[in-house]
Amino acid sequence: MKPRLTIPQAMERLAAAETPFDRVFAHGSLEVEIYAPKGEDHQTPHTRDELYIIASGNGFFVHERVRHPVETGEVLFVPAGDTHRFEDFSDDFATWVVFYGPEGGEKEP
């Protein structure tokens, strides 16, 4: 995997994958994906902490039943195990997803 990847390159890989996500980089506990749901987001809680970096588009992010508007450039944190999804997102919506750390997430000090 390349240590540098642009959004257009990631979206090209995603189109070839024929799924709404594609892992584009991994190193140790770090995994980076590009995610571009179409129509509806069917995510379930993940087992590791994650960051979303909105790469394009806009919509709403629902985290533990609280709905927030989101747009390109925003960074969102989701602890392992939390319920979350995107809703009412634009056709060009895409986000980087960064998973890291141990299963079950890192604990606050």
Q: List, for residues 20-66, the tens digit of each pLDDT value.
A: 999 999 999 999 999 999 999 999 999 999 999 999 999 999 999 99
Work out the percent of the chain whose per-residue pLDDT is above 90: 83
Q: Give me the pLDDT at residue 88, please.
A: 98
pLDDT at 5: 84
What's the pLDDT at 85? 97
d(CA 31, CA 60): 24
Q: Does residue 1 carry a pLDDT above 60? A: no
DSSP annotation of 37 reads -
7-100: which CATH architecture?
Answer: Sandwich (2.60)
Buried b / exposed e across 3-25, counting CB within 10 Å, b at 16+? eeeeeeebbeebeeeeebebebb
Report DSSP state, residue 107: P
Q: Strands, E, within 1-109: which ranges?
A: 21-27, 30-35, 49-56, 58-63, 66-71, 75-78, 84-87, 94-100
